[in-house]
């Protein structure tokens, strides 16, 4: 708890006294990050550091929805050969088609989407081969 500085005492000696008392009481024991270097120590100053930390912490995406969906479709189609069950392939493709239909039906920021729902039967037959 902070105390008022007594008259006649310098700020420096008053602050030193409070730090010493807190150390004796164990207020600095077991602090998070103890023994580890400061995260941004040695980095060049970035005036937008707080925005970058916010985006990282809140997991904010700055990718327009249409581009993010294209990437999701691409990644999903790349993962299909590793799937072992046809039911799983169909379930994943149906979920992807639901996302495509939802985005096509809404007005979104960024470039318009021109993705059509995927032909599940054609992809499943290619997956079987």
Q: In the chain, what are the domain boundaries?
A: 65-128
Q: Can you state the angle between helices 86-105 and 65-79, rounded to 10 degrees?
A: 170
pLDDT at 40 over 80: no
Kindly report the number of other CB atoms within 10 A of residue 20's CB atom: 10
Tell me, yes or no, if the pTM score tops 0.75.
Answer: no
Task: Give me the count of residues in the chain.
Answer: 129
Helices 86-105 and 120-128: crossing angle in degrees, nearest 10, is: 150
**If we measure between CA atoms, which residue out of 71, 83, 63, 75 comes closest to residue 115?**
71
% of the chain beyond a pLDDT of 90: 24
Q: Are residues 83 and 89 in contact, defined by beta-carbon separation less than 8 angstroms? A: yes
What's the rounded mean pLDDT across residues 29-58? 85
In the predicted model, is pLDDT for residue 110 greater than 80? Answer: no
77 three-class SS = helix
How much is the pLDDT for 88? 92
How many other C-beta atoms can be found within 10 angstroms of the C-beta atom of residue 69?
20
Residue 15 has pLDDT above 60, yes or no: yes
Q: Which helix (H) or strand (E) holds 15?
A: helix 11-25
Q: What local confidence, expressed as pLDDT, does residue 79 receive?
A: 92
The pLDDT value recorded for residue 2 is 62
- Looking at residue 97, what is its pLDDT? 94
Chain mean pLDDT for the chain: 86
Alpha carbons 67 and 111: distance in angstroms, whole number: 8
Task: Output 79 or 5, whichever has higher pLDDT.
Answer: 79
pLDDT in tens, 50-69: 888 888 899 887 788 888 89
């Amino acid at each position: 708890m902070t105390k008022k500085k007594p008259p006649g005492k310098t700020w420096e000696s008053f602050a030193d006294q409070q730090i010493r008392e807190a150390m004796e009481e164990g207020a600095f024991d077991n602090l998070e990050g103890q023994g580890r270097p400061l995260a941004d120590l040695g980095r060049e100053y970035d005036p937008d550091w707080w925005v970058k930390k916010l985006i990282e912490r809140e997991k904010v995406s700055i990718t327009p929805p249409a581009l993010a969906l294209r990437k999701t479709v691409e990644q999903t189609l790349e993962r299909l050969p590793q799937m072992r069950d046809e039911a799983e392939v169909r379930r994943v493709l149906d979920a992807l088609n639901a996302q495509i239909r939802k985005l096509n039906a809404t007005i979104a920021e960024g470039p318009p989407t021109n993705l059509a729902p995927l032909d599940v039967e054609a992809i499943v037959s290619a997956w079987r081969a």
